[in-house]
Every structure is written in structure tokens, then in C-alpha cells.
Structure 1
Amino acid sequence: MIVDAHHHLWTADYPWLAAPGLGAIRRDYTVADLTPRLAAAGVTAGVLVEAGRCDAAETAEFLALAAATPHIAGVVAWASLTDPDLPATLAGYRDLPGAVKLVGIRDQVQGVDDPAFLARADVRSALATIGAAGLTYDLVVQVGQLAASAAAARATPGTIFVLDHLGKPRVGAGAEGFAEWCAAVAGLAACDNVVAKLSGLLTETGPGWTVSTIRPYVDTALDLFGPERLMVGSDWPVCELVASYPAALEAIGSCLSELSAGERAAVAAGTAIRTYRLEVGS
């Protein structure tokens, strides 16, 4: 079984898609695009992650889609960590059609310039509120924010954190980028309430990616987190900037070939099912 723990859907008018270099993915991506890709890759189910629109209307749309789409097993919705009415916002999400598939929350912390953001009292309180609501928190951060992420995870042990894209290492920076990431991610991996996604590495590498380029990152993640705290994600359609949907999953799969059958099963599906509390058929 394979559970794609990180994919998106969007329409071409999402503001961030106007940035240079994103023309290849500046179009609508719908369930009709997703379904055949999952089937062709042998993926049983996926987790639909907020896509940077940063409004509550997207959450309502995604939960409704999930309710109508069996292979969308969970939704990681957007909510602001500085929302003073966050408990009410989450309660409102719980009243939406499809809310049974709400599994996590994410905010676009990667775009925050304040290095002390994750140490703010209101942000720490928000992270605790998310955990108390029975939801995970997805960390989409840059490598320079990993130390602050680790401190936030230690300060809110009742919340399960999911590190997206292994913290977006600077793979294209070669040995320097690898050393920087290794030093930064180790502290986060030491937190028992953190799991991580093997996703986004091809995009961070760029068009010249190879399995051998990303393998050291996967190997290090396996050493630091272990298979029981890792999950696979395609990061589709972002991955289409450099690779097709099957190629993105196959690249990660190639890096896992030396694991035992049980360990591969954990990374491929078990960790995602347990972490996000997904209802996925056998």
C-alpha cells in the first residue's frame, strides 16, 4: 500500500503562481487530474495539503472535495498561527461538510521573515491549541528555520508536528547545503513529537536531479527519524516543475530499496496512516 502524504490541488489564479519560473504549473489541477495519477502509480490514498491560498474558503472547498472523493483520505487545512480566534476557527472547520477528513493544520511559515516568530507566545499557544484539537501541525519551513521549529516542538509536546519536505534543504548547494541541513535537522529529529515527509527534494534539487543526489538526504533522515517517523509524499503538482508524478514517487522508492519489507511499508503508508489517523482501506 502507498499513501501519498503530500499532494495539492489548486486553480491557476492562486497568487503565488504568478511568480517567475512557475509557468509549467500555472493552471488548474483538479481531482480529475489527480485520480488517474494515483491509479497509475498504485497509490491507495492521499493527503490533500493547503496550497498557499491562505483563506478559510479553501478549507471548505477541500473538505467538500474530500467528502466526495474516497482516495482523499485527509486534508491538512490552512489556519493562521496568529489568528486570535483560532479555537473558533477550528471549531468552524469541524462544522463543515467533510470535516471528518480534517487531519491537520498548516501555515506558510516559510515566508515569515521574523526569526523569532516560532518563539512568540501567541504562536506557541496556537500550536498547543491545534494539538489539543486533535490535529497535527505541518511545518513548511526553510532550513534556516529548523532550529526554531525544534524549540517550538519541545515547547508544545502535546502537538504532533509533521516536517514537510525535510525542511527544504539547499540540495543544489552541494556539500555545503548538506552539512548545513544535517546540523539543523538533527535537533528537530530528536523531538519524539515530530515526524517528517520524504517529499519536495526533487524540486529543491532542480531539473538536474538524480537519485544519487537526493539519496544522502533520505539516508540521513532514515538514520535520524527512523522509518516509523517518515512518510512519502509526491508534492504534486509542484513536482511537475522537474518530474512527473510517478517519477517523484519512484525516486524516493529507489532510496528505500535496502529497507526491510516492514520498514518500507511504514514509510510508504503506515506512518501517514498513524500520524494523520487516516481511514484507509486495505
Structure 2
Amino acid sequence: MAEITKEKFKVVGKNTENMEAISRPNIGYWQDAWRRIRKNKVAFFSLCLIVLYILMAIFAPMFSQYTYYGQNVEEMNQGFSAAHWFGTDRLGRDLWVRAWMGARVSLTIGFLATFINTIVGSLIGGISGYYGGKVDLLIQRIVDVLYGIPSMIIVLLLMVVLGTGVHCLIIAMVCVGWIGTCRFVRGEVLKLKESDFVAAAKIMGVPDIVIIVKHILPNVMGLIITNMTMAIPNAIFQEAFLSYIGLGISPPDCSWGVLAKDGITMLRMYPHEVFVPAAMICTTMLALNLLGDGLRDAFDPKLRGTE
């Protein structure tokens, strides 16, 4: 018998890309998504910017010699300087501290309201899609009624009733913010509830709520996270708008909407007072939208293993 040598099994026409793909170690779904996020320079930069804003909102006011409410009539309407990096407002308050305190309030409201909306919408949408029938019909008719009314009108009416403040803002946003997530999750659950793993869980006697929470929703978690990321800018914009018209955060507390409201009165003479919060709102919303686009591509199972 002829001796078997390695030369007889050499690959004809080496393709290094295919060989690397074959030799690449098997990685999990979340590891693969994180790898693709890092390769997407725009999405990764957006993520870094959001993390930077969060860290600055937490720590910047703590290490400043000024407070967000301290007034100094001798330093009113100053421009950018070494003493006041973002200048001062019409009451002599330091805009650097007020901008990051405003970021703390605005980001807290945006992230917390969206997180609660996602949980509520996912559970209601999961129940609606899983059970179907009369349960689905009842829930979807309620959703259709609420969806037919502009959400901002409902939030405005609720703020008039509840009053101003962070807690009232979050409650008002949660009352209508779950609708979009509910409709989205219901559609995904309708596709997954006929899967083999769901049928196996039913045969084993697993309770329905456990099947929804532990078996169905984790399979759409990537899409839920993407949807949540792209919903945060809307919550931040709602807070800024409500604070701008006087139905959100009340002075002396501050948010980006409050800063924009105070700065717009001095736009012609001291435009930096409105440009600072406006720039923060714009960059945050842009970064979150770009990150959402990157997450959508990263969590797409059709792209797994193609890079």
C-alpha cells in the first residue's frame, strides 16, 4: 500500500479567507455580536460617546467647585473661560455643572422610562402573541385605541394632572411608551410560539408564563435591545420638550430642556447658552440612533459567520 503523505491532501488553490473562517473558534451569539459592534467604527464610537456622557454626568458635578444652583451676579452671561468652561447663564450660574447635572436628569429619565416601557411592552406583547384568541383581541384593541392618539398629547394631559418632576415624567411616559414594544414583540412571539422547543416545553408541563419569559423572550432579546436603544432618543426628546414648555423639570433643578428654555431668551446676545444644551441633545440622540443601527446589524442572525 502506498504511503499516505500530507502532500496528497494539500488544498488546491489556497483561499486564506476560507481557511481562517474554518479555523476560527466557535463563539457564542453575544460574543459574536460584540465582535461585530467593535468592528463597526461608527457604532463603537457612538457607544463610547454615550458612556463618556454617562460618566461625566455622574462625576463632573462632584469634582467642581460650583453648584448647579449657585448664583453670582458679578459673573452673569460670561463666555467660555478657564474659570467657567461653558460660560455662565443670566443668573451667573456655571453652565459646565448645570449641563452635566442636566445630562444626569435627562439621561436618567430617558434610560429609565425606556427600560420600564420595554419590560412592560415585552410582557404584554408576549402574553398577547402567545395566547392569541380573545386575549390577543382585547389587548390589541386597547393598543389600537392608544396608538390612534398622538402619544405627546396623552403625555401632556397626564403631566397637567400629575404635575412636574422626574417621577411624574417617567409615569407619564410609561403610560403610553410601551405600545410600540408591545406590537413589535407580539409579532415576534407569533412566529416563535409554534417552534419545536415551545412544543417540548408544553409537553413537559412548563407553565405558560415561564415559557414566555425564559424560552420565547430570550430568543428576541437582541431585537428588543435594538428597539430599546432606538427608543431612548425619543424619551430624551420628550423630556426636553416638556421641560422647555414648563411641564417637565422645574427650576432650580435642571435638565437639557430647562437649559434650552433659559438659553433661548438670550440667543441674540449670548448664543452659547442655548448652543451647549442643544449640542448635547443632538449628539446624544445621533449617537443612540447610530448605535441602534449598529446593534440591529450585530444581532441579525443572517450575518452571523459571514464576516
Bin the TM-score by the shorter chain: under 0.3
* Bigger Rg, structure 1 or 2: 2
Q: Which has the higher strand share?
A: 1
Q: Which has the higher helix share?
A: 2
Larger relative contact order (C-alpha < 8 A, sep ≥ 6)? 2
TM-score, reference length from structure 2: 0.25
